[in-house]
Amino acid sequence: MRIMVIIILFLQVGAAFAVEYGYTVRSTDLKDSPYTDAKTLATLPEQTKVEIISRQGAWLQVKEQQTGWVRLLSLRIGEGRTTGGDSGLKSLINLGLGRSGNTGVTVATGVRGLSEADLKNARPNPQELEKLRHMTIPPAEAQKFAASAKLTAQQINYLPEPAQTQATGTSNPTPFGGER
């Protein structure tokens, strides 16, 4: 639990001091408010660099030549240009809900996972791990903070091991626990 609190605090502190940019992953409508039925201000071409100002549910307020709103999944967050696809760790932890405006329909963007290529290309970073170790706080201080926020401890069990296929003896699970 202590590591999770540290990671959350690290992400919040980092976000408070950094200007964040993103690139559109496809041609995207810039809306005047965070709803699918809102007025379209402009259409941003694919690979347009925008400054991210704020977030509201499944929408990001951005600034290019003008300020407006785009769907969260229409941007790749960060400085690296790509030809579309996943936006890395930020997309993995971005979970949002948004409503369409006048219709009241709610949309869940969900949590994006890591691709097989992401996992194959992952490399340990001992320097970053050491930075995290230096950010730890004493357990008593964490408990005091949790008590002041009226948080309670919860036990979360590990997920069960994936089922083995009979033909190969290996598993090939889908993101929702079934076999492919």
Check whether domain 19-121 has CATH 2.30.30.40, yes or no: yes
Which of 50-54, 112-116, 130-134 is predicted most confidently?
Answer: 50-54
Instruction: Say if pTM beats, i.e. exceeds, 0.75.
Output: no
- The predicted model gives 102-112 an average pLDDT of 52
How buried is 177 (Cβ within 10 angstroms: 0-12 exposed, 13-18 middle, 19+ buried)? exposed
Query: In Å, how far from its chain's centre is CA 144?
Result: 29
Cβ atoms 125, 116 nearer than 8 A: no
pLDDT value at position 109?
52
